[in-house]
Amino acid sequence: MHETDFVSGFARGLKVIEAFGETRQRLSIAEASKLTELDRATVRRSLLTLAELGYADYDGKFFTLTPKILRLGHAYLAATPLPALLQPHLDLLSERAGQSASASVLDGTEIVYIARASQRRVMSINLTPGSRLPAYCASMGRVLLAALPENETRAILARSELKQNTPNTKIDPEELVAEFRRVRAEGYAIIDQELEIGLCSIAVPIENDRGQTVAAINIGAPAALVPAAEMKERYLPLLKETQAALRPLLRR
């Protein structure tokens, strides 16, 4: 790859868009400049470009993103067959379990929801396709991390901000790596209120016909209704059925 095969103006602009996610909806030029660590003049040009194209509004002082920006992310969900393929299976799974079912993939240290069939909302967070959670303390994250070679897993843990969300949250890397080994051996991960008090979840990997893990699915339930100890017997068979139904559909 040549050194000229990189459009830095494009890269800078993408950085500016992402700056909006980290804080509030409105950004001044100076704020965006600080967040992106780009020159004010450069940020200004990127923002004015976004406004010109209709991806942002500008009131002379603050820039705000418009819904048009959703086209960019949605290009992935619309273009990738995986979410559409998983959705009906999640619907069925969710209905049979009477709980929310989700699917996600790994992106760096985070899991990204790509499909979801939600029952009554139990979490304080609102999860939709595109939502992100730290991988180390989510059941799907455990499954996805367990599928990687151990050196990669360790590298991701090293980059993760291991935060004690609840008294249950495991944040010791060695303990986590040991748990990943168990997940790999037994084929499922259970989270007992490590992300949020009151929430348990159980996840299994989704593999293609070559056995490569391409996603994870889970069922989440309120700990008050379904203690962690019961998650396995109640939901693992359903998850395994869904997993088996999907495998032949996923060719590479």
Partner DNA sequence: TCCTCATTGTGCGATATATGAACAAATGTC
Partner DNA sequence: GACATTTGTTCATATATCGCACAATGAGGA
**From the CB of 228, what's the least distance to a second copy, in Å?**
25
Give the one entry of a second copy, DNA, none that residue 232 binds, where binding means its C-beta sits below a cut-off of 5 to 8 angstroms depending on kind: none
Give the one entry of a second copy, DNA, none that residue 28 binds, where binding means its C-beta sits below a cut-off of 5 to 8 angstroms depending on kind: DNA
Alpha-carbon span 1 to 185, nearest angstrom: 40
Q: Tell me the H-state helices in 54-172.
A: 70-79, 81-97, 139-146, 150-159
Alpha-carbon span 188 to 202, nearest angstrom: 7
Give the one entry of DNA, a second copy, none that residue 121 binds, where binding means its C-beta sits below a cut-off of 5 to 8 angstroms depending on kind: a second copy
Q: Binding segment for DNA among 33-41, 87-95, 147-155, 227-235 (CB under 7 A)?
A: 33-41
Phi, psi of 225 (to 5 degrees): -90, -40
- Residue list 60-119, contact with DNA (CB under 7 A): 60-61
Phi, psi of 5 (to 5 degrees): -85, 45
Which of 39, 95, 152, 172 touches DNA (CB under 7 A)?
39
If one asks whether residue 28 binds DNA (CB under 7 A), the answer comes out as yes
**From the CB of 90, what's the least distance to a second copy, in Å?**
10
Give the one entry of a second copy, DNA, none that residue 60 binds, where binding means its C-beta sits below a cut-off of 5 to 8 angstroms depending on kind: DNA
Give the one entry of a second copy, DNA, none that residue 17 binds, where binding means its C-beta sits below a cut-off of 5 to 8 angstroms depending on kind: a second copy
SS3 5: coil
- Crossing angle of helices 139-146/173-186, nearest 10°? 80
Residues 6+ apart with CB under 8 A from 164: 171
| Residue ranges in contact with DNA by CB under 7 A | 1-10, 12, 28-31, 33, 38-42, 44-45, 60-61
